[in-house]
Amino acid sequence: MKREGQIRVDSENLFPIIKKWLYSDKDIFLREIVANGCDAIKKYQSLCLIGEADDDNVKPRIDIVLDKNAKTLTVTDNGIGMTEEEVEKYITQIAFSGAQEFLEKYKDQTDADAGIIGHFGLGFYSAYMVSEKVEIETLSYQKDAKPVHWVSDGSHTYEISDGTKAEKGTSIIMHISEDGKEFLSEYKVREVLNKYCRFMPYEIFFTAVSDDDKKDDKENTEGTENIKTEKPVNNISPLWLKAPKDCTTEEYEDFYRETFTDMNLPLFWIHLNVDYPFRLKGILYFPKQTDKLQVMPGEIKLYANQVYIADNIKEVVPEFLMLLKGVIDCPDLPLNVSRSFLQNDGEVAKISRHITKKVADKLTSVFKNERKDYESYWDDISPFIKFGCIKDEKFYDRVKDIILYKSINGEYKTFSELPKVNEKVYYVSSTDVQAQYIKMFKDNGLDAVILEHNIDTHFVSFLEYKETDTKFVRIDSEIGEALKSDESEKAENTDELIGIFKDSLDMEKLEIKAENLKTTDTPAILAINEYERRMSDIRKIYGNMFGEAGDATETLIINTANSIIKKLPEYPEEKRRLLCRHIFDIAVMSQRKLSAAELEGFVARSVQVMELL
């Protein structure tokens, strides 16, 4: 007997809202329908456990059939099913949560809430995002239950009648609309299933049929069985569900390759396995950085009971952890009705803090127990750790003692082991540009650390803010102080030398000093004011927010211990001017690249110098 009814909603405009705004991505409808099927199976299993239902020993499964000719996509589960009364209640009264009522009824008898995250109402109606009409064929698990057929075109009315389903469970038949025709593509459906349903907890089978397939099925009674013995499209036991002690290195690496299609093996990983104060499982991988100067983005996939939610949800995964790759499955996430967005509450913050702590603990463990391996990872993981320290000071407090600094001599040192010259830490921002300064440091038994990643500009300032007793100075700044000879002897003609260079170079903004340096090979070095250089870099990054970007003050330091400088006053004026300019050019080349005009002048003067020989 067929009868009509009216869908009871709070607003006449609810259907358009569902179709356009409730879900951020149209393809999410398939996740909702399949996830509801998983919920139905979970409910049936829970009832069997407490004796409310008889176990039929049928293996739980979900079948998805795409009929291109009929323009339908059907999702069938063998779960709890529904009676006519339940269809009326859960389907026609939108936003009434069947899962919530189920939990309320059996909350003292079972842990049935584990795995039940969907709502029959709004989850089901996501089908109308791509359908012009939706049918339900369902049969309840209850004894003597009758099959039910329900159909609606998305208006405010529906028809309900006796159905034809012979086995318990529910089939959702979606008649795909013109707007959703892309989902009549077998490739597209498989893509969506791989994205959203790859790790759902019950086996999912997918097949695409056409008129020719149907004809063959009529002639071959085993046709249906062929569909049911296909390989499932999902993995119901993802690696993160296993205990860490039961996982092998090969399994971790295989899972990484399959999940992230990255052929570069990860450096190491963290297996999260938490049962209290909330349930959380997952695996976080530290990927190898392919670009040594840029911070490469990662990918964290968020799941709830093996149902994919989204990538890189910053409420759960701190921003700096987005540089990692991994999966996190947390059944206790407070999701809203679309399963897509997190409600901001204290539980989410606790989960985020716990993940951060576990990452810090793992890094500390590797540092303490596998120091050599940790050092070999450092160049790849340092951008992530430094970014994390800048974004989260509590994270810095946890890992500050395991942050490494690579010295120009190739050694890895902790903060307490940092090489200091005159109570300052000298650092290199480019091993290529500052090669001459590095050589001078090495020749004189001095050391400096290499901080040449883009993030190090910010990290140095952060360190000085946190460690107020330490000052970082770039190797081309205040180098005169580092290389100044301990001898008290001072050249008698210092003022004369400074005057010669000032007259020869005629550069008003250039500061000139004369020092007795430890090295005798270099006639002069160029130093740049550290504070002004940093401010100039900031202005270049942020525009005029901090004023106009200007060049930092440069200081030419004449080395009075050098033989050429000692003889300079003896040369005629013309030769002095040429040598002074050439010495300055060489000093500049050790600090930065010459401009086109500067390079042209340097080449011309080089020829003149050779003519003097």
Closest by CA position to 365, among listed 374, 355, 376, 377: 374
Q: What angle do CA 136, 138, 139 make, to 5 degrees?
A: 170
- Angle, helices 456-466/530-542, rounded to nearest 10 degrees: 120
Mean pLDDT value of segment 583-587: 90
**Segment 408-412 long-range contacts (CB within 8 Å, at least 24 positions apart):** 408/438, 408/441, 408/442, 408/447, 408/448, 408/449, 408/450, 409/442, 409/447, 412/375, 412/378
Mean pLDDT of all residues belonging to the chain = 83
* pLDDT class of 201 with cuts at 50, 70, 90: very high
Q: What is the CATH number of the domain that holds 267?
A: 3.30.230.80
* pLDDT class of 552 with cuts at 50, 70, 90: confident
* pLDDT class of 512 with cuts at 50, 70, 90: very high
Count Cβ neighbours within 10 Å for each residue of 344-381 and write b for 16 or more, e otherwise.
eeebbeebbebbbebbbebbeebbeeeeeebeebbbbb
Please count the structural domains in the chain: 4
pLDDT of residue 16: 53
Pick the last residue of a domain from 347, 367, 400: 400
420 and 517, same domain (yes or no): no
Q: Is the pLDDT of residue 505 over 60?
A: yes
In the DSSP assignment, the letter for residue 557 is E
Q: What is the pLDDT of residues 248-303, one digit of tens each?
A: 999 999 999 999 988 888 999 999 988 877 888 999 999 887 665 555 667 889 89
Of 10 and 409, which is predicted with more confidence?
409
Q: Is residue 481 domain-resident? A: yes
Count Cβ neighbours within 10 Å for each residue of 103-132 and write b for 16 or more, e otherwise.
beebeeeeebbebbbbbbbbbbbbbbbbbe
Of 486 and 349, which is predicted with more confidence?
349
11 and 93, same domain (yes or no): yes
Q: What is the CATH number of the domain that holds 414?
A: 3.40.50.11260
HSE-CB at 197 with a 13 A cutoff on CA atoms is 30
User: How far apart are alpha carbons 337 and 581 in whole angstroms?
Assistant: 74
482 and 560, same domain (yes or no): yes
**Segment 534-542 long-range contacts (CB within 8 Å, at least 24 positions apart):** 534/457, 534/461, 537/457
282 and 198, same domain (yes or no): no
Q: Is residue 149 domain-resident? A: yes
264 and 341, same domain (yes or no): yes
Q: Is the pLDDT of residue 68 over 70?
A: yes
Pick the last residue of a domain from 475, 491, 513: 475
Q: Is residue 258 domain-resident? A: yes
Per the document, the length of the chain is 613
- Parent domain of 425: 404-475
Q: Is residue 345 domain-resident? A: yes
Q: Is residue 534 domain-resident? A: no
Q: Are strands 203-209 and 61-67 parallel, antiparallel or unpaired?
A: parallel
Tokens encoding 176? 């795909």
Q: Is residue 36 domain-resident? A: yes
pLDDT of residue 113: 41
- Contact, 326 vs 301, CB < 8 A? yes
364 and 265, same domain (yes or no): yes
pLDDT of residue 118: 38
Q: What is the pLDDT of residues 122-137, one digit of tens each?
A: 578 889 889 999 999 9
pLDDT of residue 556: 92
* pLDDT class of 426 with cuts at 50, 70, 90: very high
Tokens encoding 513? 């000093």
258 and 381, same domain (yes or no): yes
Closest by CA position to 289, among listed 397, 386, 400: 386
DSSP bridge pairs for 157: 6
Q: What is the CATH number of the domain that holds 486?
A: 1.20.120.790
Q: Is the pLDDT of residue 18 over 60?
A: no
* pLDDT class of 361 with cuts at 50, 70, 90: very high
49 and 79, same domain (yes or no): yes
108 and 183, same domain (yes or no): yes
User: How far apart are alpha carbons 589 and 605 in whole angstroms?
Assistant: 14
415 and 396, same domain (yes or no): no
Mean pLDDT value of segment 499-504: 91
Give CA torsion, residues 22, 26, 32, 37, to 10 deg: 150
CA distances from 292 to 79, 428, 453, 545 (A): 52, 15, 7, 29
40 and 174, same domain (yes or no): yes
- Contact, 341 vs 315, CB < 8 A? no
Q: What is the CATH number of the domain that holds 174?
A: 3.30.565.10
46 and 81, same domain (yes or no): yes
- Contact, 141 vs 80, CB < 8 A? yes
* pLDDT class of 98 with cuts at 50, 70, 90: very low
pLDDT of residue 119: 35
Q: Is residue 211 domain-resident? A: yes
Q: Is residue 168 domain-resident? A: yes
- Contact, 369 vs 402, CB < 8 A? no
pLDDT of residue 46: 93
Pick the last residue of a domain from 197, 228, 259: 228
